[in-house]
Amino acid sequence: MPVHPDHHFVTTDWLSRHIDDPEVIIVDGSWHMPAAGRSGRADYLAGHIPGAVFFDLDAIADTTSPLPHMLPTADAFAAAVGSLGIHDKQTIVVYDSVGLLSAARVWWSFKIMGAQDVVLLDGGQPAWIAAGLSLEAGEPARAPATFTPLFDSAAVRNFDEVKAALGGPVQIVDARSDGRFYGREPEPRAGLRSGHMPGAINLPFGETIEGGRLKSEADLRALFATRGIDPGKPVIASCGSGVSAAVVALALDVIGARDVAIYDGSWTEWGGRSDSPVVTD
């Protein structure tokens, strides 16, 4: 594997120097909320980092679930990314078209499925463009590869596990806006109650980002401290549908937290069920 200086991120300079390395695969993980009126695949086809393949969050998912982009089985994930030409021993560089959002979910997905070296492009595609580097349109053809999955079940939680964790030592961190968390704003998905889980801590994911990049480790530590979140204790991150929760999980990983899971169904599941406790205080 090519050596990069950071465990989580590579720079545009590093990627431009390794773009033709056969042991480096670039993955465009662009995705947008339905209300945004944008398509991640359309963004990708219009212009992406040369050689990048497209990871479709809504397709590389458990499509039998009524919930959006739930994790697929390990075998289904392996088949899907293998068809893109990705194997588990490559250096996998993930980015998105806005800087840092859905790329964090793709990063987490590869990590939970056993990728040995997966990193994010610092600043994403906007940083690549700002550096004066070119894009290409269309979709490149790559030979299929074999991705051997090694699923980390400890990094994901389901409804029953989250409900059982309420009131216990696990910190539940909700990455939605404070308006949605406190029930002052409606949920963007129809049919969901507003509010939050009892005892949850609100940390809107955007507060971990500055200029399309994750904030510095020092700033992240200070941010988590102000919210009373202890990175030395277990955390379950949640959000609207499991995407922005991965930004919080990434931030915690950067500052050294080692017991962090994501509630995959997140508020789309929790707020849509009648047997889930919801508060607005």
Among 112, 113, 236, 239, the one annotated catalytic:
239
d(CA 204, CA 166): 20
Buried b (16+ CB within 10 A) or exposed e, 60-71: bbbeeeebbbbb
Spans of the chain, pLDDT less than 50? none
For residue 227, give the CATH number of its domain. 3.40.250.10
pLDDT of residue 215: 98
DSSP β-ladder status, 260-263 and 117-121: unpaired
pLDDT of residue 37: 85
pLDDT tens digits, one per residue of 171-205: 999 999 999 999 999 998 888 999 999 999 999 99
pLDDT of residue 281: 79
239 is catalytic: yes
Let me know whether 144 and 158 are in one domain.
no
Let me know whether 127 and 160 are in one domain.
no
Contact 194, 187 (CB under 8 A): yes
pLDDT of residue 163: 98
pLDDT of residue 228: 98
201-202 β-sheet, strand order: 156-157, 260-263, 235-238, 171-174, 201-202
Which domain, by its residues, includes 260? 154-270
pLDDT of residue 2: 79
Could you tell me if residue 18 is inside a domain? Answer: yes
Could you tell me if residue 280 is inside a domain? Answer: no
Q: pTM of the prediction?
A: 0.97
pLDDT of residue 5: 72
pLDDT of residue 138: 95
Alpha-carbon Rg of the chain, whole angstroms? 18
Could you tell me if residue 275 is inside a domain? Answer: no
Could you tell me if residue 1 is inside a domain? Answer: no
Let me know whether 213 and 88 are in one domain.
no
Q: How many domains does the chain have?
A: 2
pLDDT of residue 60: 98
Of 91, 121, 151, which marks where a domain is finished? 151
